[in-house]
Amino acid sequence: MIIDLNDLEEGFTDLDFEELPEDIHIDDESLQFSSPVKTRLSFYKLGESLSVQGQSSVSLGMDCVRCLESTALSLDTRFKFVFQKGRPDNVVDGDDDSLIWLDDRGDKVDLGQDIKDYILLEIPQNPVCTESCAGICPNCGENLSTNPCTCKEESIDPRWEALRAIKE
């Protein structure tokens, strides 16, 4: 997602992009994207400073961690960046993640890596198909959200067997 800064006029500019995940450097083969990444960017250019607000949305398929069924997730992320030319000598990169310093000769900027980072942060570590998902039975593996389990829950931890013998 390369933006030519010379194409932007002073003031507000809106741009829409629709790109494949690979185009913005998302190369993780474990992620199953079912739609392109749709991004809307609003630029505000004032002299050597450029402010960007954006929103990206994408759909991907993941397995529910409770029932192991495939589920579709829609991810929406919002982000803000400020680009500035002419970094002072006493300022170090990394002081502010939303402030990006540009080279004085830099006329193009690639937002793909930055947008990728925001999208990857939105992916849940433990995706669930629904909040009410009951998961699977640990004994027979039946999906408890769709079918009731018929196995008996009399499995006793063998470590407690000696205490049960004392009770009897």
The candidate with the shortest Cα–Cα distance to 79, out of 106, 56, 109, is 56
Tell me how far apart the alpha carbons of residues 71 and 32 are, in angstroms, rounded to a whole number: 11
- Do β-strands 32-33 and 11-19 pair in parallel, antiparallel, or remain unpaired? unpaired
How many other C-beta atoms lie within 10 A of the C-beta of residue 51? 16
Give me the torsion for CA of 33, 34, 40, 41, rounded to 10°.
Answer: 10
Give the tens place of pLDDT for each residue, 126-160. 999 889 988 998 888 888 888 888 877 666 777 88
Can you give the pLDDT at residue 137?
Answer: 87
How many other C-beta atoms lie within 10 A of the C-beta of residue 73? 16
3-state SS, one letter per residue, for 2-30: EEEHHHCCCEEEEEEEEECHHHHCCCCCC
Give the tens place of pLDDT for each residue, 72-114. 989 999 999 888 776 666 666 555 666 777 766 667 777 888 8
What average pLDDT does the segment 23-39 reach?
A: 84
Identify whether the C-beta of residue 65 lies closer than 8 Å to the C-beta of residue 127: yes
Can you give the pLDDT at residue 111?
Answer: 81
Tell me how far apart the alpha carbons of residues 67 and 50 are, in angstroms, rounded to a whole number: 46
Tell me how far apart the alpha carbons of residues 99 and 81 are, in angstroms, rounded to a whole number: 6
> Which residues are registered as beta bridge partners of 100?
83
Rg of the chain in Å (alpha carbons) = 25
